[in-house]
A = this chain, B = another copy of it.
Amino acid sequence: MGMVGGGQGAFIGAVHRMAAALDGEIELVCGAFSSSPERSKASGKDLFLPEERSYGNYQEMIETEKTLPEGDRMDFVSIVTPNHVHVPPAIMALQNGFPVICDKPLAFSLAEARELRSVVEETGLLFGLTHNYTGYPMVKQARDMVKTGALGKIRKVVVEYPQGWLSTLIEATGQKQAAWRTDPTKSGVAGSMGDIGSHAENLAEYITGLQITELCADLTTFVEGRKLDDDGNVLLHFDNGAKGILHCSQICVGEENDVNIRVYGENGGLEWHQLEPNTLIHKTQDGQRILRTGVGDLCESAQAHARVPAGHPEGYLEAFANIYRNFARTLKSILNNEQPDPLYADFPDVHDGVRGMAFIETTVAASASDDKWVPFNGK
């Protein structure tokens, strides 16, 4: 694996590396960790990489690695830069024969996302997107229960992603994570809706198997001086007639990363909170049942995506590692000319990424519109 971005001081780059390392199936062999060649080298040294494989920029990395003999050169590229530097390295990597796994949201804009999709389709190479919350075993269990009819026809979905870390104008204090996320030249047209709202949208559609068809949005910028939304409330209509609410916020003081979802069908409901990710609550007219990672009769996928027996809490990095492991195993099957195991060929792809970008742009447009319902076209 070769990495683009994620140099010293970055948050998500280290997460990707730990996630990739956890199972011993992926090795970091090179990187272009920073737009500054010196910082890239320094980062590579911290990571025990030979100096010549810490590249000054992604172009150099892709071109040089391509010349290395198979077996030596990187097998795929991992992109962990801010949003506006997702698509250019992704397209270049693909066009030079390297599969890509990329942080979310997919792109800076929907147009750019669609362009990337074309390249993925043309090259036929594997592409993964790290909507990591879908990597949790109990999210897989939830999806399976919906799919196998445990809830009956789905009627209502409530998905939330409240955070509090942007309650004040911390981008003005030099906080690096806040700075690019609130900068429209790096983040795109949306703030909270792009950074976390798109996770919520992806999670809701992943679990329910439904697609949003139209929405009504109310985005707000609460913090004075901020350039993008820091809060959003959205009403949803799904393709089977289900109704939904999605809200995300970065001004909910005291909230960490409380991604959570409730899904109700004709016969039952489900509730899952990322902050207690090993618990899935199954609700019926007769009461509630607590499903737990590793306990009892879970679906095959929930079992395959847990690493330790019941009672040993698995968390964010393990879920993230499931995305990487699934991507790597699927890639290995392809490289070996084998049929990928559907159990592992389960990770967000470029189509999810395009849907996410469409969601972001549609909510921004809908919020500005006087129309109550705005159609959502995720293609």
Contact = CB atoms under 8 A, between A and B. Distances in A.
Nearest to A284: B254
Interface in A231-282: 231, 233, 235, 243-245, 247, 249, 251-258, 262, 264-269, 274-278, 282
A288 B290 contact: yes
A340 to B, nearest CB: 19
Contacts of A176: none
A315 to B, nearest CB: 4
B254 A288 contact: yes
Interface in A339-379: 369-372
A220 interface: yes
Grouping DSSP codes into helix (H, G, I), strand (E, B) and loop, the A interface class, with mixed when no group exceeds half, is loop
A337 interface: no
A24 B48 contact: yes
Interface stretch (A12-20, A61-69, A81-89, A200-208): A12-20
A183 interface: no
A316 interface: yes
A299 interface: no
User: How many copies of this chain does one complex carry?
Assistant: 4
A292 B21 contact: no
Contacts of A251: 155-156, 264
Contacts of A258: 311
Chain A interface bracket (under 10, 10 to 19, 20 to 34, 35 or more): 35 or more
A275 B22 CA distance: 21
Contacts of A244: 233
Interface stretch (A92-100, A109-117, A121-129, A302-310): A302-310
A289 B292 contact: no
Given A251-B264, A253-B283, 20 more contacts: A18-B23, A21-B24, A24-B28, A155-B222, A155-B231, A156-B222, A156-B231, A158-B247, A218-B243, A233-B243, A252-B262, A253-B266, A253-B269, A254-B282, A254-B283, A256-B311, A258-B311, A275-B313, A277-B313, A290-B290
13 contacts: A18-B24, A21-B22, A167-B285, A218-B235, A220-B243, A249-B264, A256-B295, A287-B295, A288-B289, A288-B290, A308-B317, A314-B315, A314-B316
